[in-house]
Amino acid sequence: MNEPISDALARLREITQSVAADVVAPEAEAVDAQASWPEAGMSTLRAAGLTGLTAPRKVGGQGQGLLGLATVTEILGRACSSTAMCYGMHCVATAVIAAKATKLQEETYLAPIAAGRHLTTLALSEAGTGAHFFLPETRLARDGGGFTISGEKQFVTNGSRADSYVISTVASSGAREGEFNCLVVDAQTPGLQWGDAWRGLGMRGNESRSLRLDGVRLPISHLLGEEGDQIWYVFEVVAPYFLTAIAATYLGIAQAALDLAIQHLKGRRFSHTGGTLADVEVLQHRVGQLWMGVEKCRLLLQHAAHLGDLGSSNALTAILASKADAANVAVATTNEAMTLCGGMAYRENSTLARLLRDARASHVMSPTTEMLTTWTGRSALGLSLF
Ligand SMILES: Cc1cc2nc3c(=O)[nH]c(=O)nc-3n(C[C@H](O)[C@H](O)[C@H](O)COP(=O)(O)OP(=O)(O)OC[C@H]3O[C@@H](n4cnc5c(N)ncnc54)[C@H](O)[C@@H]3O)c2cc1C
């Protein structure tokens, strides 16, 4: 940890390390092999009070911001990437609900989340607009005192496992392209139809499913903020929290791959020389390069998160860059570690094989690495992102 952290966050970090070591890491191999949702890890995180991380203190939550999210999610990502993803999406959706919560939304969602009794998640992506998650096509119509929603979401992490879903829709009236609303939909709302679980190459335990909403009716109290708040939500809440959670997950993967490479180089001893791979200068050099990549990635992520928590005008550029950087570092580090760890790592279902497969999702999880790198440049140039 490099940014100074509060005593409260230091305590949460300790609790997370213990949950990660005792429950999350031991479960990782089975979660991947069976493509199963990380039930034990998520239950323990709930019981430890960690699912209240981004819920406000006034409802009993931990009231942590981006640095807290980066810290906790990196530890989980190092232990089990799927658990980190499921946890991260819950924390992001919690932050979206909390941003402009009404009294009713505090009582219905945030207080139970803080108490570890409610899991939520983010359902933004759609097949039609793909990586352009900020362009939903799901329709919202005024219906008496409420709304009717029709459309289909894709890749919903924690799909069918959560108690509520934060979804985006086209604004209900007079909307221009890119204008959308966020709403919270309860799991038991009539009319939700789940597709089969997606079987991924990596991130296999995130229980990603499609969600069809055919004329689903919701009271007006489920709207988050006001109609037309979408730009505020995207830039102030969705992007910073989502990018931080994802970047931290992939940083955790990179660190886990580096740990394995170091462990292998120190432990692998040749019979003909009596020396280890760690004695070979070119391999020391390659480990040095990996270490620099991972450490710089962590510094950028924590710095970006810290700026975001301070409300700095420079935060967005750094936050955009940090997820692109984490994706590049995770893919490069797992790939290089696979070479350094030799034939043992290249076997079917080795831990490194899992990390390499998990890391690959980073580039396609929207906003993609290409989009973020371009947006970082536009932001640095003082241009609008779109
Ligand atoms: C493991 C996993 C978990 C996910 N979890 C969630 C979730 O919890 N909630 C959620 O809402 N979504 C989630 N998603 C969805 C994700 O964020 C993307 O929306 C989805 O992967 C886009 O897939 P696509 O095939 O439609 O991509 P496409 O839109 O077809 O894009 C394919 C590729 O083209 C390139 N590309 C596309 N558009 C551009 C552009 N404008 N500029 C430059 N390059 C571009 C990129 O390389 C991209 O990877 C998840 C996805 C994965 C893989």
175: pLDDT strictly greater than 60: no
Write the pLDDT tens digit of every residue in 342-378.
999 999 989 999 999 999 999 999 999 999 999 999 9
- Taking only the tens place, the pLDDT of each residue in 212-232 is 999 999 999 999 988 777 777
Is the pLDDT at 386 greater than 90, yes or no?
A: no
Q: Are 335 and 280 in contact (CB under 8 A)?
A: no
CB of 203 within 6 A of ligand 1: the answer is yes
- Choosing from 155, 198, 363 the residue with most ligand 1 atoms within 8 A of its CB, the one to mutate for a pocket test is 155
**pLDDT for res 27:** 98
Residue 177's pLDDT is 59
Relative to the CA of 361, which ligand 1 atom is closest? 53
Q: For residue 310, give Cα distances in angstroms to 7, 66, 192, 305.
A: 18, 10, 39, 9
Q: Is 133 in the pocket of ligand 1 (CB under 6 A)?
A: yes
Structural contact between residues 60 and 129, judged by C-beta atoms closer than 8 angstroms: no
Q: What single letter denotes the amino acid at residue 312?
A: S
Is any ligand 1 atom within 6 A of the Cβ of residue 12? no
Q: Work out which ligand 1 atom sits closest to the CA atom of 364.
A: 49
176 confidence band (pLDDT: 50, 70, 90): low
- Identify the pLDDT of residue 231: 73
Q: Which pLDDT score is estimated for 385? A: 86
Pocket test for ligand 1, best of 211, 357, 364 (most atoms within 8 A of CB): 364
For a ligand 1 pocket test, name from 73, 365, 369, 376 the mutation site with the most ligand atoms within 8 angstroms of its C-beta. 365
Write down all domains in the chain, each with its CATH number in brackets: 7-119 (1.10.540.10), 122-229 (2.40.110.10), 231-380 (1.20.140.10)
- Residue 163's pLDDT band (cuts 50, 70, 90): very high
* Torsion sign across C-alpha atoms 105, 111, 114, 118: negative
Please tell me if the CB atom of residue 201 comes closer than 6 angstroms to any atom of ligand 1. no
Using 50, 70 and 90 to split pLDDT, how confident is the model at 206?
Answer: very high
Q: At residue 170, does pLDDT exceed 70?
A: yes
Average pLDDT, rounded, for the chain: 95
pLDDT score for 174: 57
Q: 234-268 pLDDT, tens per residue?
A: 788 999 999 999 999 999 999 999 999 999 999 99
User: Which stretch of 29-38, 103-112, 136-145 has the lowest confidence by average pLDDT?
Assistant: 136-145
Shortest CA distance to 59 belongs to which of 72, 69, 49? 49
pLDDT digits (tens, 9 = 90+) for 14-47: 999 999 999 999 999 999 999 999 999 999 999 9
Whether residue 123 has its Cβ less than 6 Å from ligand 1:
yes
Share of the chain above pLDDT 90, in %: 88
Which atom number of ligand 1 is nearest to the Cα of residue 158?
8
Q: How far apart, in whole angstroms, are the C-alpha atoms of residue 159 and residue 154?
A: 10
How many whole angstroms from its chain centre is CA 48?
19
Q: Would you state the pLDDT for residue 233? A: 78
- pLDDT of res. 173: 65
Contacts of 67 (CB under 8 A, 6+ apart): 3, 5, 9, 302, 305, 306, 309
Confidence class for position 284, pLDDT limits 50, 70, 90: very high
Say if ligand 1 is within 6 A of residue 368 CB. yes
Q: Which ligand 1 atom lies nearest to the CA of residue 367?
A: 17
Inter-helix orientation angle 25-33/81-99, to 10°: 100
Position 181 scores a pLDDT of 87
Q: What is the C-alpha to C-alpha distance for residues 72 and 18, in angstroms, rounded to an integer?
A: 11
pTM, full prediction: 0.96
Q: Is the pLDDT of residue 3 over 90?
A: no
Residue carrying structure tokens 């970006």:
304
DSSP conformation letters of 353-385: HHHHHHHHHHHHSSSPHHHHHHHHHHHHTT---
Question: Is the distance from the beta carbon of residue 16 to the nearest atom of ligand 1 less than 6 Å?
Answer: no
If you write DSSP's letter for every residue of 59-101 in order, what string do you get?
GTS----HHHHHHHHHHHHHH-HHHHHHHHHHHHHHHHHHHT-
Task: Determine if ligand 1 sits within 6 Å of the CB of residue 372.
Answer: no
Q: Which amino acid is it at 86?
A: C
For the Cβ of 130 lying below 6 angstroms from any atom of ligand 1, the answer is yes
Ligand 1 within 6 A of CB of 376: no
pLDDT band at 185; cut points 50, 70, 90: very high
How many Cβ atoms from other residues are within 10 Å of residue 372's Cβ?
25
**Ligand 1 pocket member 365 (CB < 6 A):** yes
Reference 240, options 69, 49, 363, 355; nearest CA is 69
Give me the pLDDT at residue 226, please.
84
Please tell me the predicted confidence (pLDDT) of residue 180: 80
Residue 150 pLDDT greater than 60, yes or no: yes
Q: What 3-state DSSP class applies to 131? A: coil
Residue nearest to atom 26 of ligand 1 (CA): 130
Q: Indicate the top mutation candidate among 31, 121, 366 to test ligand 1's pocket, ranked by most ligand atoms within 8 A of CB.
A: 366
How far is ligand 1, taken at its centre, from the CA of residue 108, in Å? 31
